[in-house]
Structure 1
Amino acid sequence: MPSPALRRALTDPGPRPLPDEVSELLEKLAAPPRLAAHLRAVHDVACSLADWLEKQHPELAFEREATLFGAATHDIGKTVHPEELSGPGSAHEQAGYELLLSQGIDEERARFARTHAAWSADVGVEDLLVSTADKVWKAKRVTDLEQLLVDRLTAASGQSPWEVFMALDDVLDRIAAAADGRLAFQARHPIHD
């Protein structure tokens, strides 16, 4: 039975709910309530990015469900390293990947726990979307990361890099404008039960 604090973090009004599979996994792992709230916020932003991408760039093939699962689980390693919920650290990345594998999640979906903080030109567009959602949910903009996304969109669409940049910048600005509400939602939920 999940703690009342975790249940609230998973069900309180606010960002879209997590996929059932992820909510059940967080309950099974007795995840910190703050982590569940954070994952909801990032998942919500990833949903908005995926919606925009499907509408504005239907020519770019990407796995929506994998992207949303990745956003919903990217920091799951913080169940093992809860100190990283309130402080710096990257131990949760490999720990999250291993934790997901131990729970029967295949490597293709578990990878986001490792790739969300260290992106490169050779990762999939899904990884770039998860990484972008993990930044812009709190209104943080990362030029190098966004440029990788612009490059993918430009190659797929045939539009000029400037056109693609302006459209992406616009949607990220709109998402970032709601960061205070997402931050307040996360802060309402305790790190520990």
Structure 2
Amino acid sequence: MSVIALRRALTEPAVSSMGPLPQDAARLLLDLEAPPRLAAHLRAVHDTARRLIDALGDACPRLRFDQEEVLFGAATHDIGKVIHTDELTGPGHAHEQAGYELLLAHGVDDRLARFARNHATWTARDISTEDLLVSLADKIWKAKRLRDLEDLVVERICRVSGESPWQAFMVLDDVLDALARDADERLAFQARHPIA
């Protein structure tokens, strides 16, 4: 694997002024010699999460969540694919627990490492708003819509805003439609970077 290709995935200008990953996440990917495709994917999801929380902050100012957690979670959620590289191109869940353990082994607090383990599951009773937003960003970056996940976010919006479920759904739907518009560009950006 070329460190040059990895650095390019972490820094090259991309879709709609896609920004860089947080420095600690980028440094970790460099230390682990992550596949460039993984770095590009994490940048795409991180940027989508940033745009998601900005839009929700404007549309639903009463919805409270820890922005740092959401952004770090989005930037590292698939880090276990450093170990399970076959899951970069195919299905699998082995990367989830492996990513959680990898982050803990590198000194990441459990509060932030948990996103690697639970980004694909959102049905736990104690799921946080931050967990839901990372999961949502991991789907909408490629314009994938999942009703059950979106319904949980709508519930959170209703709980704090007093809006009806239909009103809250319309707010979220507008946000997600706007984010989905750039999905083809994000997918093309990710595909430009080699798997190995």
Indicate whether the TM-score tops 0.5: yes
Q: Return 5+ residue gaps in structure 1 as ranges.
A: none
SS class of match (1:111): helix
Cα offset for 1:54?
1.5
How many positions carry a matched residue from both structures? 191
Comparing 116-125 with 134-143, greater Cα deviation is found at 116-125
Provide the rounded CA distance (Å) in 2 between the counterparts of 1:84 and 1:140. 18
Provide the rounded CA distance (Å) in 1 between the counterparts of 2:84 and 2:19. 25
Q: Return 5+ residue gaps in structure 2 as ranges.
A: none
Which residue does the alignment assign to 1:123? 127
Letter of the 1:6 partner, please give it: L
Cα offset for 1:122?
2.4
Cα deviation, 1:101-120, whole Å, max 9, x if unaligned, reads 00000101000001110111
Which residue does the alignment assign to 1:165? 169
Instruction: Give the 5 Å matches for 1:92-111.
Output: 92-111=95-114
Instruction: Give the 5 Å matches for 1:14-93.
Output: 14=14, 15-93=18-96
Cα deviation, 1:146-188, whole Å, max 9, x if unaligned, reads 0000000100111111111001001101111110000000000
Aligned-residue RMSD, C-alpha: 0.9
Provide the rounded CA distance (Å) in 2 between the counterparts of 1:171 and 1:50. 10
Cα offset for 1:43?
0.3
Letter of the 2:68 partner, please give it: E
Provide the rounded CA distance (Å) in 1 between the counterparts of 2:143 and 2:61. 26
Identity of aligned residues (%): 63
Cα deviation, 1:59-89, whole Å, max 9, x if unaligned, reads 1211001000000000000001011001111
Cα deviation, 1:3-23, whole Å, max 9, x if unaligned, reads 000000000101221001100
Mapped contact 2:48–2:141 kept (Cα < 8 A): yes
Cα offset for 1:55?
1.3
Comparing 17-26 with 2-11, greater Cα deviation is found at 2-11
Q: Which runs of 4+ in 1 moved over 3 A?
A: none
SS class of match (1:61): coil
- Structure-1-length-normalised TM-score: 0.97
Letter of the 2:149 partner, please give it: L
SS class of match (2:62): coil
